[in-house]
Each structure stands twice: as structure tokens, then as C-alpha cells.
Amino acid sequence: MKLSAPKEVTFIIAVILAILGALASQGIIHTGYAFAMVLIGFIVLALGNLVKGL
């Protein structure tokens, strides 16, 4: 399996989702989806590494 670096846009989306999830888990942002946001952010980042051009 050959890994590639994610595009900058993919990385920024993943970081934004992870930050929003962390803020939600601390109660700064009131939503019930804190874990889901962090999980989706890391899935996006993993897909960016696995799929070339994403």
C-alpha cells in the first residue's frame, strides 16, 4: 500500500473538524456530535493519505 500526502484543502477540512469536535467536547460549542466530528475529521485525513489526489 502506497501512501500519499493529502492535499492542503483535505488537511484543512480535517483539522477544522477535529478542532470543532474538541471544542464541542469541552462544552464551548453546544452540540451532541463532538465525537462524530473528531472521528469524521480523522477519517477524512486517513482517506487523504490513502487515496491519491484527494
Please state whether the predicted TM-score (pTM) of the whole model is above 0.75: yes
pLDDT(40) > 80: yes
Predicted pLDDT of residue 36: 92
Q: Show the 3-state SS of 20-54.
A: HHHHHHCCCCCCCCHHHHHHHHHHHHHHHHHCCCC
Whole-number average pLDDT of the chain: 90
Output the nine-digit C-alpha cell for 34. 463532538
Question: Tens digits of per-residue pLDDT, 26-35?
Answer: 999 888 889 9
The mean per-residue pLDDT over the stretch 17-36 comes to 91
The full set of domain ranges for the chain reads 8-50
